[in-house]
Amino acid sequence: MTPVPHRGVRLCAAVLATAVLMAGCQRAGNPIAEAAIERAARGSVDAGSVAGGDAPGTRPAPDALPLPAQFPGDVYLPRGYRVNSVMDLPDASVLSLSAPGHLDALFADARESMRAQGWTQTLSARHSADAAMLAFEKRAGGPARSATLSFNRNHGDARVIVGVQLRRQVQ
């Protein structure tokens, strides 16, 4: 009888143990993201009450997620936006939107809208023809806040992915 090398036995045992463990595991969700989505679903906001909501065409798509309940009314939202994802934390909100249009036009609209709402621009960056970013600060009307807007062309369709990151300063 030929002895079985220990290395081969250990490798087979490791593969078998991994297969058993993986079969018995359930995919764990992200509790922070799940809580944020649940909170956003409970706090549905009418887009008419948020920034640009009075203008025609700014209402979100009917199949979109709602904005967080405490989303400020002085932050740019593009016309025809759709909320794709929401993370709402005590001192920050992170949203991913999609909007019809061209990146350059949305970038210019966002800059103009944010300035008109009293935000001070702190950064403007163009990474390529398909990506850009704006950052703003606002100190009036309560604790200081910062906002970062990112724009990325969505290859494959006529929409632009707009990232909105808001941060409230803790006092």
| CB neighbour list of residue 93: distance below 8 Å, 6 or more residues apart | 68, 70, 71, 86, 87, 164, 165, 166
Q: How far apart are alpha carbons 114 and 106 in whole angstroms?
A: 12
pTM (2 decimals)?
0.64
Q: How far apart are alpha carbons 162 and 132 in whole angstroms?
A: 10
Determine the average pLDDT of the residues in 22-37.
Answer: 40
Domain membership of residue 19 (yes or no) is no
Domain membership of residue 92 (yes or no) is yes
Is pLDDT at 26 greater than 50 in this prediction? no
Domain membership of residue 48 (yes or no) is yes
pLDDT value at residue 45: 36
Higher pLDDT, 138 or 55: 138
pLDDT value at residue 61: 58
Is pLDDT at 71 greater than 50 in this prediction? yes
Domain count along the chain: 1
Domain membership of residue 14 (yes or no) is no
pLDDT value at residue 120: 97
Confidence of residue 79 (pLDDT cuts 50, 70, 90): very high
Domain membership of residue 24 (yes or no) is no
Q: How far apart are alpha carbons 89 and 102 in whole angstroms?
A: 30
Domain membership of residue 118 (yes or no) is yes
Domain membership of residue 162 (yes or no) is yes
